[in-house]
Structure 1
Amino acid sequence: MNCKPSNKTILILGFLSACLIDVVMATGTFYYFAYGSNLLAKRIHIQNPTAVRKGFGYLKDYSLDFFHYAARWRGAPATIVEQEGKKVWGAIWEIDNSNLADLDRQEGVHNSVYKPLTLPVVLPTGDTLDCRVYQLVRNPCCLAPDAEDRPYERQPSKTYMNII
C-alpha cells in the first residue's frame, strides 16, 4: 500500500487549508490598544467600521512620546518608548480580523511608518490582555524633554493633541 499522497491530494489539502485560514481570519477578532489618534471613535471607524471599544488599560513600562514631523498632522505623531516604571493609558478596541489590513494601512505599516507589536495591556482588574499596538519604526532613542523644551520636529500639533 502506497501511503504517499499524490500531487492532486496535496493541492486539494493546500486549497482547503487556505480556505479554512481565510474563514478563521474573516470571522475572528483581535484586540487593538490605541494611545494616539485612534482614541477617537470617529477616527478609527473611518477605515475600521467593525471596531468596538471594550474599555481601557495601560502599557506597563512605556512612556508616550512624539517623534518625526508628519505633514498629515502638521506635527509629530505619538509613539511609545520603553521606560521602566511609566504607563501609557489608552483604549482597547475589538476589531474583526477582516479589518486588520485596513488598520495596518491606516498606521502606515506598508510605508514603514509604524510597526505592529503584540504587548500585554494591564486592565483595571489587574489582568492583562495581549493587544496589537503600533510603534514608530523611526522611534526616538530617548524620551523628549518636557513640552516647552521639545525641539520643533518632536512637537505634536494642537489638532493632534485635541484628538488624543
Structure 2
Amino acid sequence: MEENHFFYFAYGSNISSSTLKKYCPTAEQICVAKLNGYRLDFKFWATIVPNPSKHVWGLVWQIHNRDIPQLDYYEDVENNLYRVFQVTVHSSDDRAITCRCYEMMSDFTLDQALTLGQNVNTMLKPDNIPAIWYMKNIIDSAVEAKIPDYYIDELKAVPTKECAFRE
C-alpha cells in the first residue's frame, strides 16, 4: 500500500461500493474480512460493540487519504456520532490488515440478548430498529461481497421498520 492511502474496514452500508464511492471516489475493494472481538448492533445505523467471543464480517477498502474528510463527514465524526479508531481484521487467507474503522459513540449493553453463536443483535429496542431500505442495502451488499451465508442470515433476522427518511 502506498503511503498516501489507508485501509478502511466497512461493516454496514459502506460494504456497498455505490454507497461508499459517493463520498470516497478513490475507494478500491481489497477483500472480505472478519473483525474478531466485536459484535454488530444498531442504533438505527449499524455499529460495532466490543465482545471478546463474537465477530463482525465486512469489507476492507483501500482509500486515498484525500477522502478522509468526506468519510469523517459522512460518519458525522465532528458531531460525535461515530469515533475513528484502528482495528486489525483478518482476510479469508488469514492475512492481518490494520484498518481505519468507525464505532458509534453510545453505550450498548444488550450482550445478554445474543445467543451463544449469534454475532448480530436481533433483539433491538424500538428506537434502535433500522429502516427497511438501510438493511436491504447492507444485506444485498453482503451477498454481493460473498460474506459467509450464516452471517447474512443473521443480518436478515434484524428487525426493520418503515422510515420516510432516506440517505
Q: If the length of structure 1 is used for normalisation, what is the TM-score?
A: 0.74
Residues 81 and 143, structure 1, Cα contact 8 Å, conserved in 2: no
Against the structure 1 CA distance between its residues 148 and 126, is the aligned structure 2 distance closer, same or farther, given a 3 Å change threshold? closer
After superposition, the C-alpha distances for 1:37-71 in whole angstroms (9 at most, x for unaligned) are 1011111011110000111101101100012xxxx
1:56 aligns with 2:24: no
Partner of 2:132: 158
- For structure 2, which runs of at least 5 residues remain unmatched after alignment? 115-120, 139-167
After TM superposition, the structure 1 = structure 2 runs for residues 98-113 of structure 1, keeping only pairs within 5 Å, are: 98-113=66-81
Against the structure 1 CA distance between its residues 37 and 144, is the aligned structure 2 distance closer, same or farther, given a 3 Å change threshold? farther
Following TM superposition, by how much is the alpha carbon of 1:154 offset from its aligned partner in structure 2, in angstroms? 1.7
State the aligned residue count. Answer: 131
CA distance in 2, matches of 1:98, 1:157: 31
Partner of 1:84: 52
After TM superposition, the structure 1 = structure 2 runs for residues 68-147 of structure 1, keeping only pairs within 5 Å, are: 76-143=44-111, 145=113
Higher helix share: 1
What is the DSSP-based 3-state SS (H/G/I as helix, E as strand, rest coil) of the residue aligned with 2:111? coil
State the identity %: 31
Residues 42 and 124, structure 2, Cα contact 8 Å, conserved in 1: no
Question: Greater CA radius of gyration, 1 or 2?
Answer: 1
Q: If the length of structure 2 is used for normalisation, what is the TM-score?
A: 0.73
Partner of 2:143: none
Against the structure 1 CA distance between its residues 29 and 82, is the aligned structure 2 distance closer, same or farther, given a 3 Å change threshold? same
Following TM superposition, by how much is the alpha carbon of 1:145 offset from its aligned partner in structure 2, in angstroms? 3.1
CA distance in 2, matches of 1:65, 1:149: 9
Structure with greater contact order relative to length (CA < 8 Å, sep ≥ 6): 1
Root-mean-square deviation (Å) = 1.9
CA distance in 2, matches of 1:82, 1:95: 25
Against the structure 1 CA distance between its residues 148 and 58, is the aligned structure 2 distance closer, same or farther, given a 3 Å change threshold? closer
Partner of 2:118: none
CA distance in 1, matches of 2:7, 2:122: 35
